[in-house]
Amino acid sequence: MHQLISSFEGLQGKVKGINYLNDGVVLVDTTPNSLFDVVNFITRELKGIFTVIIGVDAREIDGSFHNIYVFSLDELKKYVLVRVMLEGSDPKVPSITPLIKGADWSEREIRDLLGIKFINHPDPRKLIVPESWHDGVFPLRKEVSYKLRAHGPYEPYQPRRSEDVIALPYGPYHPLLHEPEYFELHVKGETVIDIEYRGFHVHRGIEKLGEARLTINQIPFVAERICGICGYVHSVCYCQVIEGAAGIEVPERALYIRSLILEIERIHSHLLWLGVACHVLGFDTGFMHAWRIREPVMHLAELLTGNRKTYGINLVGGVRRDLKEEHIDKVIKVLNEVKEGYTKFINYLTGVREVIKRLEGSGLLPRTEAISYGVVGPVARASALKRDVRVDHPYAAYKDVYFKVPVYNDCDNMARLMVRVEEVFESIDIIKQLLDKLPKGPILAENVEVAEYREGFSAVEAPRGEDVHYVMTGKYSRVYRWKVRAPSYSNIPALKVMLHECPLSDAPLTIASIDPCFSCTDRLIVVDVNTGKRFKVPMRALAKGWRP
Amino acid sequence: MRKRLQLIKEALSIGVVTRKYPFIPAEVPEGFRGLPQFDASKCIGCTACGNVCTPNAITFVDDTSLGIRRLEYYLGRCIFCGRCADVCPTSAITITKEFELASLNDRDLRLVIDIKLIKCQSCGRYFTTFRHLNTVAGKLQEGVVDLVNICPECRRKLALDSLIKLGGLK
Ligand code: SF4
Ligand code: SF4
């Protein structure tokens, strides 16, 4: 512990203070002028990987805005939070995007939502709020009501290559798609040379809702609805943050139950992905078998928690529903059956030549780029980055189980498939170990009292990668600031690299390979940079060899 | 090629797994969190359920012209978390396994429970429900019961007055 603190001594005068938020989280205070030096030190000397920037409107507390730059030191098993305080009346800070590509979104998000200026940021466009948003209104500032809605006429998104592009009359908000997100591929002939992405059409302002209207114990239920597939990770992560900030001792049994349900979620999420990946490849037989194998896992979740997907069993301090003795055998039985069917399926899948040929060597993300973008989860592990929150920053009951973290060096779509394939086996094994060791006792801490203005930070390994939450507690059992960063937030920007110079027909698969909450990416726009023509193409047609 | 045939064989032996729902009812396990059911006769109008309800599916309004507290439950907002049943002191809410709740009529999604309010004996304002008071009074020791039908504000004043009378506060 002290080793880490003393390693900052070299920075003399540039660091104003170092504190431990808890065992695994170090908070370093610095000034905007010294930010570059501290960030360079962390990324170069300590091998820190960028995670996210958290912006806090703390004017009510100390008259300033806080920017908290988060880095994960995987090897040292610590998170470093670098905090700079910015003037309340005119907050500005140098942009770190020129140093770290992954910081681009975080900075634009904070600029949109909190109105902090990032000096020398390369991209002046909006990220989160719609183009027609009120000028000078920053939704996460405390004086803005959470009921405020966007106004003004619809203004189309302006892609950066606007000179080559014909305006789009009817864009990404397709009424039949599950989730609107907007990809634009810029192609030369049949090769992709760049991509544009505009998302956040369905940004629900959940953070604002949590800060403005909900109490501490209501947020887990909303957090769980952030993701439609792996929502439980958010609820666990949020609870961990509050428990850490308030120093609540969570009973062992509750920790085990959380880990167990998290692994069930990982299994069904990976199986879902595997099915969808087959579907994108035009291999619908594989899709159906993957989902057939997945279904009993959903039933298992329903039996244990009361619902297939929104488990709703977390409260700050533990869980609401105990694991019944008589269900344990059932869990083991179902998992054994799943494993059997799954083994057969994988054996078959990896024997289909067409599938393998499509996956191998496509969608390359070299290790150095993976670090620069700070990618997480299976995407990182397929690019030779051994990082897994369960091992690097253990939480729940993961310190008590043994499992392998699959890492591949090939950096391609095949590697990303193989990481997930192996993880399902590991998860089944983890659940069995947990059931073996399941301690007896209470499942919910008795005294849940949360003091005001305490900070907490925690991370959970979601099926898609590292999910992080930050909370500053507020008065009257509420949160003052709640920040969520889901894993796809780190992975989607890296598509720029994966899709560069890739054949058009591999694009849907590569987009799918990061498992970006999948429904988002059904349809895309293809722009021929030579002619400026735009085509709307369903993913499936593209996968089957569509040509402009 | 051989592998491909294997899968066909496998698929044949597994057969059809898709269920014929809704022609054949779907089973949900014991402990499934479905529709919360309210027993109006047990509800005392304590508002605990409304306080924990995350999406505001349960709301309360006090109608002083009619002298009632109205609990409104709107199924359209309910997320079936079951927290209301957890906190209800009289077990007026039970979580059922019912999940086929769609309706063409919005009114089917609403439930209203009216509970009579009671006035403060001292200042004459409505302050809680009759049933709530009864439940609380049943749990109190004698002597304190006298103070029960007085609203918290007046009670504070009274307590203060008696303290001053006793010379406890100068
Ligand atoms: S089940 Fe949950 S959402 Fe529904 S009424 Fe009860 S507390 Fe509210
Ligand atoms: S918690 Fe129970 S008794 Fe209290 S208002 Fe709700 S339903 Fe009625």
Q: What is the CATH number of the domain that holds A43?
A: 3.30.460.80
| Mean pLDDT across B18-25 | 90
Is residue A114 domain-shared with residue A236, that is, in the same domain? no
* Order of all β-strands in the sheet with A455-462: A455-462, A465-473, A479-485
Does A439 fall in a domain?
Answer: yes
- At B142, the pLDDT band (50, 70, 90 cuts) reads low
Q: What is the CATH number of the domain that holds A277?
A: 1.10.645.10
Chain segment A306-319, per-residue pLDDT in tens: 999 999 999 999 99
Q: Which two tokens stand for residue A371?
A: 């670090």
**Do the Cβ atoms of B29 and A292 come within 8 Å?**
no
First to last CA, chain A: 58
Q: Confirm or reject: Cβ of B43 under 6 Å from ligand 2.
A: yes
Q: How far is the CA of B82 from the centre of ligand 1 (A)?
A: 5
- DSSP per residue, B33-100: ---EEE-TTT-----HHHHH-TT--EEEEEETTTTEEEEEEEGGG-----HHHHH-TT--EEE-S---
- Residue A522 host element (H or E): none
Does A350 fall in a domain?
Answer: yes
Specify whether the CB–CB gap between A487 and A462 falls below 8 A: yes
State which of A145, A162, A189 marks the end of a domain: A145
Is residue A432 domain-shared with residue A308, that is, in the same domain? yes
Q: Which of B29, B54, B86 sits opposite A221 (nearest CB)?
A: B54
Q: Confirm or reject: Cβ of B59 under 6 Å from ligand 2.
A: no
As a whole number of angstroms, the distance between CA A110 and CA A91 comes to: 11
Q: Which residues does A470 contact at the CB level (< 8 Å), separation at least 6?
A: A54, A68, A70, A241, A455, A456, A457, A481, A482, A483
* Residue A217: domain span: 206-513
Is residue A139 domain-shared with residue A214, that is, in the same domain? no
Does A538 fall in a domain?
Answer: no
Does A199 fall in a domain?
Answer: no
Whether the pLDDT of residue B114 is over 80: the answer is yes
Of B43, B80, B93, B112, best ligand 1 pocket probe by most atoms within 8 Å of the beta carbon: B80
pLDDT at A254: 96
Q: Which residues does A436 contact at the CB level (< 8 Å), separation at least 6?
A: none
Looking at the structure of chain A, the number of domains it has is: 2
pLDDT at A227: 85
Is residue A223 domain-shared with residue A141, that is, in the same domain? no
pLDDT at A30: 92
Residue type, A493: P
Q: Confirm or reject: Cβ of B79 under 6 Å from ligand 1.
A: yes
Does A410 fall in a domain?
Answer: yes
Residue that the structure tokens 């191998």 belong to: A360
Q: Confirm or reject: Cβ of B68 under 6 Å from ligand 1.
A: no
Q: Is B9 on the interface with A (CB under 8 A)?
A: no
Is residue A497 domain-shared with residue A369, that is, in the same domain? yes
Chain segment A379-401, per-residue pLDDT in tens: 999 999 999 999 999 999 999 99
- A63-66 LR contacts (CB < 8 Å, sep 24+): A63/A88, A64/A88, A64/A91, A65/A91, A65/A114, A65/A116
Residue type, A535: F
pLDDT at B153: 86
Does A160 fall in a domain?
Answer: no
Is residue A261 domain-shared with residue A141, that is, in the same domain? no
As a whole number of angstroms, the distance between CA A221 and CA A224 comes to: 5
pTM: 0.90
> In angstroms, what separates the C-alpha of B143 from chain A's closest C-alpha?
32
Specify whether the CB–CB gap between A274 and A266 falls below 8 A: no
Q: Confirm or reject: Cβ of B60 under 6 Å from ligand 1.
A: no
**Do the Cβ atoms of B31 and A285 come within 8 Å?**
no
Q: What is the pLDDT along chain A (548 residues), one digit of tens a residue?
A: 567 777 777 777 788 888 888 888 999 999 999 999 999 999 998 889 999 999 999 999 999 999 999 999 988 899 999 999 999 999 999 999 999 988 999 999 999 999 999 999 998 888 888 877 888 889 999 999 888 877 666 666 665 554 553 332 323 433 333 556 677 777 777 777 777 777 777 778 889 999 999 999 999 999 998 888 888 999 999 999 999 999 999 999 999 999 999 999 999 999 999 998 888 888 888 899 999 999 999 999 999 999 999 999 999 999 999 999 999 999 999 999 999 999 999 998 888 888 888 899 888 999 999 998 999 999 999 999 999 999 999 999 999 999 999 999 999 999 999 999 999 999 999 999 999 999 999 999 988 888 999 999 999 999 999 999 999 999 988 999 999 999 988 888 898 899 888 887 787 778 778 777 533 333 445 556 566 565 655 555 555 555 55
**Do the Cβ atoms of A352 and B3 come within 8 Å?**
yes
pLDDT at A543: 54
pLDDT at A313: 94
Is residue A422 domain-shared with residue A492, that is, in the same domain? yes
State which of A130, A145, A160 marks the end of a domain: A145
Q: Tell me the domains of chain B and their CATH numbers.
A: 28-166 (3.30.70.20)
> In angstroms, what separates the C-alpha of A286 from chain B's closest C-alpha?
10
- DSSP per residue, A306-337: SSSS----EETTEESSPPPHHHHHHHHHHHHH
Of A250, A253, A182, A86, the C-alpha closest to A521 is A182
Q: Which two tokens stand for residue A66?
A: 């806080």
Is residue A237 domain-shared with residue A377, that is, in the same domain? yes
